Amino acid sequence: MESYTWGHIHKYPKQTKRLLGIDYQQLEQLIALGKLLHQENKEKIEKTKIRINQPGSGTYSKLSEEEKNVLMLVYLRHNISFQILGLLFQVSESTAHNIFSYWQKLFEGELPPSLLEQVKKFQEEEEIIQEQLTDYELIVDSSEQPIERPSDLTG
């Protein structure tokens, strides 16, 4: 079953940039890279795995690899809760979190890091970057919002 979000991207590929932060062609390239990384990871795990059941047994994922990549990108672009992300892709909150964590870790070594991640890796350059940033003023437009905390998990 195709998720609504994935179907929308196929139907309106020009809106991909607005929705995910990358255009449709870049999304296709990212998905191809993701499939390759996922296959390599599965092969690596399979070599060390001790099997009780035959390969292919067990439950199947509700989402395709393409939809999982889109789920990751939607979270990174919009920073919505995993509960909402699960609703968008018709999976549970924990499944949305697990999918995001897995795919983000897969892409971690393949995609260029952000400026903050680069600074963390190269501490000696931190002072140079701080000097460059002192010429800029940071303005944050925000308002406080209460965060819903689960208190009763029975409902």
Of 5, 14, 139, which Cα lies nearest the Cα of 72? Answer: 5
Domain assignment present for 151: no
Domain assignment present for 73: yes
Domain assignment present for 135: no
Domain assignment present for 36: yes
Domain assignment present for 32: yes
Q: What is the pLDDT of residue 115?
A: 59
Domain assignment present for 102: yes
**What's the domain count of the chain?**
1
**Across residues 51-73, what is the average pLDDT?**
82
Q: What is the pLDDT of residue 24?
A: 92
**Across residues 22-27, what is the average pLDDT?**
90
- Whether the model clears a pTM of 0.75, i.e. scores above it, the answer is no
